[in-house]
Amino acid sequence: MKSRVLSVIIAALTVSGSLLADGLEEIMNYREYAPGFSSSGQPSREQFELLKKEGFERVVYIAFANSEGAISDEDQVVKDLGMHYAQVPVIWEAPTKADFQAFAAVMQSAPDKRTLLHCQANYRATAFAFLYRVLYLDVPVAEAKADMNTIWKPDGAWRDLIFGVLEDNDVSTQCEGCDWTSDD
């Protein structure tokens, strides 16, 4: 009897979202910036189902389908769940302004869709999320930078990309608490 009652309680919590919300935190390096925009590392097949149940409408993947740990048929998995899927493959060693612009165009095509932006570990994704939030969502550089720093401090080609995109948009990289030196 006790186990049946416990099963009913667990089922009710799961349906109400209490356990599902905790499940999002299980996705590698998951970060929610706003109710409609999050980033993460590579979700599992089951986690894509969870994302759908949690109201996500779009998945944007910015790595390659043959990246280590990638789900080679992720596009089909996401589409089968009824979500929109977009991929903007970004070379880790050489991200470009065009890569960011392609990502931003995807986001701007339906800005109100609840979106998960992801790559393998949420490094590329947090850098693009930083830029998108600053340039399109009017988030202050210091706030977006502090969120990005919870995952990593971009250096090399990634710092150069961020600085270049911000400069092209007349946004200063200087702000209180903005330390752009690498942890390495």
Round to whole Å and give the CA distance between 25 and 141. Answer: 25
Domain coordinates in residue numbering, the chain: 18-168
Per residue in 14-61, pLDDT tens? 343 333 445 999 999 999 999 999 999 999 999 999 999 999 999 999
- DSSP line for 69-93: T--TTHHHHHHHTT-EEEE----TT
Looking at the structure, give the CATH architecture of the domain made up of residues 18-168.
Alpha-Beta Complex (3.90)
Round to whole Å and give the CA distance between 61 and 94. Answer: 17
pLDDT at 10 over 60: no
Round to whole Å and give the CA distance between 93 and 157. Answer: 7
Contact 134, 160 (CB under 8 A): no
Per residue in 133-173, pLDDT tens? 999 999 999 999 999 999 999 999 999 999 999 999 999 99
Report the alpha-carbon angle 89-117-15, nearest 5.
Answer: 140
pLDDT at 183 over 70: no
* pLDDT above 90 coverage of the chain, percent: 82
Q: Which helix (H) or strand (E) holds 5?
A: helix 2-16
